[in-house]
Amino acid sequence: MQLSKKAGNITPSITLAITAKANELKSQGVDVVSFGAGEPDFNTPENIIQAAIKAMYDGKTKYTPAGGLLELKTTICSKFKKDNNLDYKPNQIIISTGAKQCLANVFMATLNPGDEVLIPVPYWVSYPELVKLADGVPVFVETLKENNYKYTVADLEKALTSKTKALLLNSPNNPTGTIYHEEELLEIASFAKEHDLLIISDEIYEKLIYDGEKHISIAALNEDAYERTIVINGVSKTYAMTGWRLGYAAASESITKLMTSIQSHMTSNVNTIAQYAAIEALNGPIEDLNNMIKEFENRRNFMIYKLEKLNEISIIKPNGAFYIMVNISSYLNTTFKDQTINNSVDFAKVLLEEEKVAVIPGAGFGLDDYIRLSYATSMDIIETGIDRISTFLSKIK
Ligand SMILES: Cc1ncc(COP(=O)(O)O)c(C=O)c1O
């Protein structure tokens, strides 16, 4: 039987094999050090957990409107005003099952078959697949190392065609941790205006920024950018709430209406209890958040210090999120114990087998001469893991 061609065209996550192998080794009692985490290692703050418990005891256990509780939408509007100087009304907000579902909704609500979406390389793994699921075509925008892999208008122009419908922006970026500054955003916004493109701005790492950097939402630059931007955000990374599955998007009323209509048939509302928890997250005290950011910054600094001591390794210095991309090109096209190491997947596989360190191969993000290390893990693990990587490098070259 011919199953769905569209589903068959979806690339399974390249990171899955490494993660599965690392988990298998761990379950056998092997001391595996993992740099794979895509989520904070902190627990959700106590006040948020208490709000969820209270919601359940108060009987808030029923359906809500498909696009989310009005009270949460209003809270999100206040957040946009306070943090991003953006004015939205509740009917421009949709609450979805993670930022991931917001993105899926956006592509389904805006793309027609064959419409192209510009996606910068390196990219978060799900963007191209979500575009394909919505019958769109992902078009990769090659970026330059000297620009810290941020795209410029010149890069965008090379990928532009008459079918381009939207461009994707992710700042702070996963996997590089780089941040787009105001002058760069202004150029991107005027490019989008000139070619009448939608801007899909994934700002999920907005709060996780360091070195006194400032996050600017492209939607806040001017009226035109506001009209053509769909802002994606959520509570997963900021409030250590990845498992609660709650993201939100802000867009024009017409796009929000379409997204809500799609979601009403796909999943209905986000878990009601998680919605009450999110109200507390967005309105409650921010000490836990500030402590987490401080800790991430310390770990990032320590990881950079350790990585810079490694031979023939360079990094993309991150100002945000909790990842560091490490260039391993000097160690590719080598052989170790009869195994060839020609790309990031080989490197990650042999590193795991030999030194029991799990890293994410850059191939999954479109940068095959890099590996991604997450510092959402303890200082001890950072110390041990990078020492093991150092041992590995000296063995293979
Ligand atoms: C860039 C980016 N966008 C969106 C998401 C999805 O977040 P959520 O957990 O809210 O679905 C992630 C999660 O890893 C991410 O890295």
Q: What is the pTM of this model?
A: 0.96
Stretch 220-231: mean pLDDT = 98
* CB of 247 closer than 6 angstroms to any ligand 1 atom: yes
pLDDT at 21: 85
Q: How far apart are alpha carbons 259 and 270 in whole angstroms? A: 14
Distance 233 CA to ligand 1 centre (A): 9
Model confidence at 235: pLDDT above 90: yes
Residues 6+ apart with CB under 8 A from 286: none
User: Measured between alpha carbons, how far is 78 from 249 in angstroms, rounded to an integer?
Assistant: 14
Tell me: the pLDDT tens digits for 162-213?
Answer: 999 999 999 999 999 999 999 999 999 999 999 999 999 999 999 999 999 9
Mean pLDDT of the chain: 96
336: Cβ contacts below 8 Å, ≥ 6 apart? 350, 354, 395, 396
Determine the pLDDT at residue 17: 74
CA of 38 to the centre of ligand 1 (A): 8
Confidence of residue 222 (pLDDT cuts 50, 70, 90): very high
Structure tokens at 203: 């700002």
Render 362-387 in DSSP notation, one character per residue: GGGGT-TTEEEEE--S-HHHHHHHHH
Alpha helices of 115-246 — where are they, by DSSP H?
Answer: 126-133, 153-159, 182-194, 223-228
pLDDT of residue 217: 98
Mean pLDDT score, 291-296: 95
Cβ atoms of residues 30 and 356 within 8 Å: yes
Does any ligand 1 atom lie closer than 6 A to the CB of residue 74? no
Mean pLDDT of 248-275: 98
Q: How far apart are CA 41 and CA 36, in angstroms?
A: 11
For residue 274, the CA-to-ligand 1 centroid distance in Å is 17
Alpha carbon of 51 to ligand 1 centroid (Å): 23
Ligand 1 pocket test target in 124, 131, 176, 238 with most atoms within 8 Å of CB: 124
Asked whether residue 308 carries a pLDDT value surpassing 90, the answer given is yes
pLDDT tens digits along 357-372 = 999 999 999 999 999 9
Closest ligand 1 atom, CA of 247? 10
| Dist. CA 12 → ligand 1 center (Å) | 17
Mean pLDDT over residues 249-266, rounded?
Answer: 98
172 C-alpha to center of ligand 1: Å?
12
Give the distance (Å) from ligand 1 centre to CA of residue 204: 6
Q: What is the pLDDT of residue 374?
A: 94
CA of 376 to the centre of ligand 1 (A): 15
22 pLDDT more than 90: no
Instruction: Give the tokens for residue 349.
Output: 């596989």
Closest residue to atom 14 of ligand 1, CA basis: 38
Summarised one tens digit per residue, pLDDT across range 80-138 is 999 999 999 999 999 999 999 999 999 999 999 999 999 999 999 999 999 999 999 99
* DSSP for residue 43: P
372 close to ligand 1 (CB < 6 Angstrom): no
Q: What is the pLDDT of residues 277-288, one digit of tens each?
A: 999 999 999 999
* 95, 96, 123, 237: residue to mutate for ligand 1 pocket, most atoms within 8 A of CB: 237
Residue 228 has which token pair?
A: 């053509």
In the block, residue with structure tokens 């202004």: 186
- Pocket probe for ligand 1: among 96, 97, 123, 174, the residue whose CB has the most ligand atoms within 8 Å is 174
**pLDDT for the residue numbered 20:** 82
Confidence of residue 23 (pLDDT cuts 50, 70, 90): confident
DSSP string, 285-303: --HHHHHHHHHHHHHHHHH
